[in-house]
Amino acid sequence: MLGWFSAFRENGAPTSYGEQRTPVLLDTQIFGLVCLFAIPSLAFLIILPGVRHTKAISSLVFLCAMAIGTVLIVGLHYPTWHVASGNIDCPYKAFSKDRIKARIDVRIGLHHVNISLCTDLLDRNLSGLLYNERFDISEVHLMEKELSRALTKGLPFPILKVVEYLSLERCGFHWGRMYRVAGHYTSAFLWLATACWILSMTLLCLSPSHFATSFLWTGILILTATAAYIVNVPQSMEIRFPSSEGSIQLMFTLGHSFYASLFAGTVSVALSLFLMLLRTLWGYELDTVFTARRKICKSWMTNKSLRSQHRRKISVYDVSRLY
């Protein structure tokens, strides 16, 4: 009989609740990094209608710079530089006849690998499964430790097979080392680009005339990082899984982080060259909150030697120069 103090107890033992294993559904680190750039950008858009003069190009430059900064920081942590996905039909564990039809997603970043395995139909005992595991590849022989840890944890066979491919560094199997080298050089160039980006944002507030040069170097470093990654990453990475119809090849391709970084570097270089062209041909300079707003003051002055009248461009904070 179930009483008030006997619920969830077995043989008089203390109350015990079943284990609830919940996979990671949201990367809180990436969410926090995106909010770090989204909140200032949103605040800028809120106050933008109150800005009366020279806000078109300045707003475009600021928003582009914030977007490129977001791509830089997120690209350093988000594992979508080299990705692969596919539907597999293979054993759930080694030396077993029980098979699963599942979808596996492999997302490789600069310092770690994310492997997801999800299915709606497992076997007669379980109704489904959802795995989302992260493995570190930043150090030498670290993947071997990750493989041993995964075996001890009892992860499914498809996840173990991917980890085993990345942990081997002998007999021609050196994909893990290539990913580690690619991540090392790419992250180094991206951190240099981040430093240039911080310098560019500082110059945008204090000395806008030098912003274009610093931002140009930011774009060059981002493009160099993407070039370093595509040179060092494995060009033909394939993992075969057994299937009822033969075998399935898991093909790896360049992911969203790579293309986003490539696009950010291209936009950064193009925007910098555009600002340099405006300054060279038309003498245009960015106006910020720290600079004196300029306007054409209709003060007609008589030049006795030339007997002509002219207008002068002055700052509103330097009215004494009119007289």
Q: Quote the CA–CA distance of 85 and 60 in Å, as a whole number.
A: 37
User: 223 and 309 share a domain?
Assistant: no
First to last CA, the chain: 101
DSSP classification of residue 173: B
User: 305 and 277 share a domain?
Assistant: no
User: 218 and 323 share a domain?
Assistant: no
CA 3 to chain centre: 54
Q: Would residue 57 count as lying in a domain?
A: yes
**87-101, 214-228, 284-298: segment of lowest average pLDDT:** 284-298
User: 106 and 166 share a domain?
Assistant: yes
Q: Quote the CA–CA distance of 12 and 284 in Å, as a whole number.
A: 82
User: 218 and 306 share a domain?
Assistant: no
Domain span at residue 156 reads: 28-282
| Domain count across the chain | 2
User: 32 and 172 share a domain?
Assistant: yes
User: 178 and 41 share a domain?
Assistant: yes
Q: Quote the CA–CA distance of 212 and 207 in Å, as a whole number.
A: 10
Q: Would residue 12 count as lying in a domain?
A: no
Identify the residue with better confidence: 248 or 127.
248
pLDDT tens for each residue of 126-171 = 456 788 888 888 887 788 888 888 888 888 888 888 888 888 776 6
pLDDT tens for each residue of 40-58 = 889 888 887 776 666 677 7
Alpha helices per DSSP H over the chain? 28-47, 56-77, 142-153, 157-167, 175-206, 211-232, 256-282
